[in-house]
Amino acid sequence: MKTKDLVDQLIKDRYTYNELNSLCGVYILTVNNKHYIGSCKILNCKTSRNGFYYRLYLHIYKLINGKHHSLKLQNAVNKYGVDKLEFDIIQTCASSITTDIEQYWLNIMNTFKEGYNSCPTARSNFGYKHREESKQKMSKSKTGRIPWNKGLTCESPSLETRIKLSNALVGRKKASMSSEQKLKISNTLKQRNLQKLTLS
């Protein structure tokens, strides 16, 4: 079955293409009572690469081709079948706050530890563990590459250059800070020291 047919089957009798293509927010994918939380945005009204429909299409396409970034979700679909996947919209919102709303639901549902999300932070790779196959591919792609800084040396400026710099600075006044700036810096340092004492 083609990707589009699978997507249409998932949304049948619940959502229309136009609805999903024009709305953005947070959605949930469910397989065997475990969940994956995701979000989508409306970036450009003139393209079809928007909204819930496009995100769902991408998920299905990657899952049926064994290329989904969430190994946990991929394994679940491999085991139970893509036809067991369920899709629902949790919350619609403005594109500007989808990441914040997604993070809220990630925390509430705890889908990093108890579900299929591969990262605990929305729109981030923090906490993500690459597959062994991916690690090998990245390693091979870098083999033979010459580092950008190879052969570069950091030499001290010559005596002549140092004299020129010194002469150029003669007569210059050091920038003075206002009382307000000094107070801000003082308060910041005091706060840092207090935090260190609290932690120790």
Structural domains in the chain plus CATH codes:
3-125 (3.40.1440.10)
Q: In this predicted model, what pLDDT tens digit does every residue of 111-166 receive, in sequence order? A: 999 999 999 888 754 444 555 665 676 677 667 766 655 665 556 667 787 777 77
Q: In this predicted model, what pLDDT tens digit does every residue of 30-78 receive, in sequence order? A: 999 999 999 998 876 555 667 899 999 999 999 999 999 999 999 999 9
Residue 126 has what pLDDT?
43
- Alpha-carbon distance of 185 to 34, in angstroms, equals 49
- Alpha-carbon distance of 37 to 148, in angstroms, equals 39
- Alpha-carbon distance of 37 to 88, in angstroms, equals 10
